[in-house]
Amino acid sequence: MKLIALAALSSLTLASTGALADNGDRSFLLCEGTSQKDSDQSFAFTVTLDIGNEKVISIGSGDGAVTEAFTDTEIVGKQNLGGGVVNWLTVDRATRTFSLAVVRTKATTSSAGDPVTDDEFRGACRPTGKAF
């Protein structure tokens, strides 16, 4: 009985801090936003988090995201998609808004080149209890 009460209290505490829906060890967000280059282009994706270990598991699909920051105010992670493309996500925990930069290394004949932001999406995230 005490374990159930503790679990319920933990869930309420996480929800009150805007920490997101919890599904065992992993929590899931559904983020929806629009392109900063083309306001007619919308984008929706899921984010998988391990709240207990303060880690970003995935941004979009697959595993392999790297956690840059996991504080009471923001979550920052990046995920290498291959081919020189990296998704860089920042979630504001208080407002549940996000910024997702799609960064690409433009190859040149002599080197890999400097990273360039292809596009940036901004919008809102909401908790969901199920992975897609």
Model confidence band, residue 66 (pLDDT cutoffs 50, 70, 90)? very high
Per-residue pLDDT, 105: 79
Q: Which of 20-24, 51-55, 120-124 has the highest mean pLDDT?
A: 120-124
Q: If you classify domain 2-128 with CATH, what class do you get?
A: mainly beta
Give residue limits of the domains in the chain. 2-128
How does pLDDT run across 93-106, given as a tens digit for each residue? 999 999 999 998 76
SS3 string of the chain?
CHHHHHHHHHHHHHHHCCCCEEECCEEEEEEEEEECCCCCCEEEEEEEEECCCCEEEEECCCCCCEEEEECCCEEEEEEEEECCEEEEEEEECCCCEEEEEEEEECCCCCCCCCEEEEEEEEEEEEEECCCC
How does pLDDT run across 4-30, given as a tens digit for each residue? 332 332 333 333 334 444 445 789 999
Single pTM value for the model = 0.72
Per-residue pLDDT, 17: 38
